[in-house]
Chains A and B, each alone.
Chain A
Amino acid sequence: MKLVAVTSCPTGIAHTYMAAEALEQAAIAAGHEIHVETQGAAGAEALNPVDIAEADAVIFAADVDVRDKERFAGKPTVSGPVKRGINNAAAMVEEAVAMAEAAPAPKIAASVAPMTAAAPRLGPGAKLRLWLMTGVSYMLPFVAAGGILIALAFVIGGAEVNQKVYGGEFEGVTYEAIANPTDILTQAGIAGVLMYLGATAFGMLVPILAGYIAFGMADRMGIAPGVVGGLVAVAIGAGFLGGLVAGLLAGAVVMALKLIKPGQALQGIMRIVVIPLVGVFVVGFIMLVVVGKPIAAAQDGMTDWLAGLSGANAILLGLLLGAMMGFDLGGPVNKVAYLFGVGALASGDLTIMAAVMAAGMVPPLGMALASVVRPKRFTPGERQAGKAAWLLGASFITEGAIPFAAADPLRVIPSTVIGGAVAGAVSMAFEATLRAPHGGIWVIGLIGNWGGFLVALLAGTAATCIAVLALKSVARSEAAAEADEHVLAI
């Protein structure tokens, strides 16, 4: 059986740890698995949410209030003073086991493993989803803050604010990048500062996602390899899918490293030096060399291929570019399509840019719509992300859909691809044009045939919404639903 426990006492220097040790020993002696959170003076290392989700029962040996008790809601719980945990640890463990057997662990048991009611292990699918959701939950504030700051920058400073800060050409005017960030306020105004801060927050999106997926899998030791892997994913342009890979990879590597039981001499430096060192190197190396090269090659290939299609049917091209925009939401495929649009813009073809922007606005808008139409299909965190996604989508910040896609890629990505493809094709069919490389509805004055552009946007948004709701209701496993319920506390 699997147990979790929390110990605490008034001073937090003695009984807390004695109870933890006694409970660990008692549980192991009785053949159970236990994880103990010591809420004492040495700082509590919080229990892994996965361990809590999987636990059959909970033990509190505490003389002061257990912090964040709501994490354990719904679990069979044995509570007692901290001294009981020390003096009668075996009895507490026995009681917890008896309670778990009497009231076989909540919902999760029935759905994940209906055959073995008393063993509420999460299935691999549910576990994976729990890890991804952990990463997403830590990433959300970065998406909200970064996305809204960038949108505000566009609203206040016009779409050219991006070029004013980072350099480049906009509407025929070429801007120098601002080399020293402290000059941004004087040279680009408050809008420039908003742009810079938003872009900085966005830069952390993939590293945080990767770092906290690894955290969900392998606790604190996972964070460093995950974050570094995520930074490499950004550097090689692998986008959020690269971040998912980096996070899962880092978690797996650290989990494996933790299995190594070195001799006494090495034990002390395992956690401090060996695991971080080996973890960061292995994950970083794989991301850079094994993942990075093929992505760059694939991007070159796609770019050449698109160039060869230039004369082809315009609607078909719009369909294809739109699908690419929706595929990885700011990742390598999206980037190829986007740069193709920017390239066409520079050579005077304004329809492709319009199709690309419409398709890039659709994923967040479609997810936002879906989270309003059927809120029950989304976690509270996703519903919050949905509110911000309206603004992000309207501002052509495709990344607004990442929280949805990272948590449930197999259902969300097909939906954003479909919506993007519809928007791209419809925009091309109406021959909408766009004279700016970004800006969303804030550059509506630069859109030609904006009526057609709007129709494309609405059609794509509706298509994404319908597709994702269909996929989430049909192809959604019970396990995922249960994992969702357990992630709410994170």
Chain B
Amino acid sequence: MSSEDTVDLISAALIDLDLTGADRHEATAKLARLLADAGRVTDVDGFLADVRAREEQMPTGIEGGIGIPHARSAHVTAPSLAFGRATKEGIDFGAADGPADLVFLIAAPEGGGSEHMTILAKLARKLVHQSFKDSLRGAPDAAAVSILITEALRP
């Protein structure tokens, strides 16, 4: 579709199926470190500041146990998704119906082209489908989650 070199949005290395954290910021920071280790975020603190700025405009929790901290940031090299699955107690992302157990940290480069944005848009659309959420909750390991998400975004 695109002539650009597109890196997959997610890989097994960007998935933490035992996500913990005292609050959303701590959980987000853990996922951000995964992105930094994979070379997709150049400056973790700078990126987290951008995410926090967005989070403070309005919490990103969505009913149904979802948190989507996200930002467009100059510290991001490629559009990426880090995914964390928490225990049943979950992590509070400010949704009205309680904490989130599925956390999607979406990182978009500042000047991201519209093709990149189209992929992220597709991911966002997927998140409102119950079947997609269910399959993520039921996936046995990181590799399975990575395949699930990559398949869902295939054009």
Interface residues of A (CB under 8 A from B): 10-18, 20-22, 25, 38, 40-43, 63, 81, 83, 86-87, 267-268, 272
Residue of B nearest to A19 (CB): B128
* Residues of A with C-beta under 8 A to B22: none
* Residues of B with C-beta under 8 A to A81: 58
Residue from B58, B62, B117, B127 in contact with A40 in the complex, judged by beta carbons closer than 8 Å: B117
* Residues of A with C-beta under 8 A to B117: 12-13, 40-43
Residue from B63, B108, B127 in contact with A87 in the complex, judged by beta carbons closer than 8 Å: B63
Q: Is the CB of A11 within 8 A of B124?
A: no
If the complex has contacts A13-B72, A14-B120, A18-B127, are A272 and B1 also in contact, measured as CB distance less than 8 A?
A: yes
In the docked arrangement, what's the CA distance between A404 and B151, Å? 52
Q: Is the CB of B54 within 8 A of A10?
A: yes
* Residues of B with C-beta under 8 A to A21: 124-126, 128-129
Residue from B1, B95, B112, B126 in contact with A41 in the complex, judged by beta carbons closer than 8 Å: B112
In the docked arrangement, what's the CA distance between A15 and B128, Å? 10
In the docked arrangement, what's the CA distance between A25 and B71, Å? 26
* Residues of A with C-beta under 8 A to B129: 21
Q: Is the CB of B108 within 8 A of A41?
A: yes
Q: Is B70 an interface residue (CB 8 A)?
A: yes
Q: Tell me the total A-B contact number using a CB cutoff of 8 A.
A: 79
In the docked arrangement, what's the CA distance between A272 and B118, Å? 15
Residue of B nearest to A40 (CB): B121
What 8 pairs across the A-B complex have the smallest Cβ distances? A17-B124, A42-B117, A21-B125, A17-B121, A41-B117, A268-B155, A87-B63, A42-B121
List 18 interface pairs A-B (beta carbons < 8 Å), by A numbering.
A11-B108, A12-B117, A13-B108, A13-B120, A13-B121, A14-B60, A14-B127, A15-B68, A17-B124, A18-B124, A21-B125, A40-B121, A41-B108, A86-B62, A87-B62, A87-B96, A268-B1, A272-B1
If the complex has contacts A42-B114, A268-B155, A272-B1, are A14 and B106 also in contact, measured as CB distance less than 8 A?
A: yes
Q: Is the CB of B62 within 8 A of A20?
A: no
* Residues of A with C-beta under 8 A to B127: 14, 18
Further contacts, 18 of them, CB under 8 A, given A15-B60, A41-B117: A10-B54, A11-B71, A13-B124, A14-B127, A15-B68, A17-B120, A17-B125, A18-B124, A18-B127, A20-B125, A21-B128, A38-B121, A63-B58, A86-B63, A86-B128, A87-B62, A87-B95, A272-B1
With both chains docked as a complex, state the minimum distance between the C-beta of B135 and any C-beta of chain A, in angstroms: 17
In the docked arrangement, what's the CA distance between A81 and B59, Å? 12
Q: Is the CB of A22 within 8 A of B114?
A: no
Per-position contact with A for B37-74: 1 when CB-CB < 8 Å, else 0? 00000000000000000100110101100001011100
Residue from B112, B118, B120, B128 in contact with A22 in the complex, judged by beta carbons closer than 8 Å: B128
In the docked arrangement, what's the CA distance between A83 and B60, Å? 9
In the docked arrangement, what's the CA distance between A18 and B64, Å? 13
In the docked arrangement, what's the CA distance between A12 and B71, Å? 9
* Residues of A with C-beta under 8 A to B128: 18, 21-22, 25, 86
In the docked arrangement, what's the CA distance between A272 and B1, Å? 9
A14, A16, A87 — most chain B CB neighbours (10 Å) = A14
Residue of A nearest to B70 (CB): A14
* Residues of A with C-beta under 8 A to B96: 87
Residue of A nearest to B94 (CB): A83
Per-position contact with A for B1-26: 1 when CB-CB < 8 Å, else 0? 10000000000000000000000000
In the docked arrangement, what's the CA distance between A83 and B1, Å? 32
With both chains docked as a complex, state the minimum distance between the C-beta of A269 and any C-beta of chain B, in angstroms: 9
If the complex has contacts A11-B72, A268-B155, are A83 and B58 also in contact, measured as CB distance less than 8 A?
A: yes
Residue of A nearest to B69 (CB): A14
If the complex has contacts A10-B57, A41-B108, are A18 and B120 also in contact, measured as CB distance less than 8 A?
A: no
With both chains docked as a complex, state the minimum distance between the C-beta of A81 and any C-beta of chain B, in angstroms: 8
* Residues of A with C-beta under 8 A to B54: 10-11
If the complex has contacts A40-B117, A87-B63, are A13 and B70 also in contact, measured as CB distance less than 8 A?
A: yes
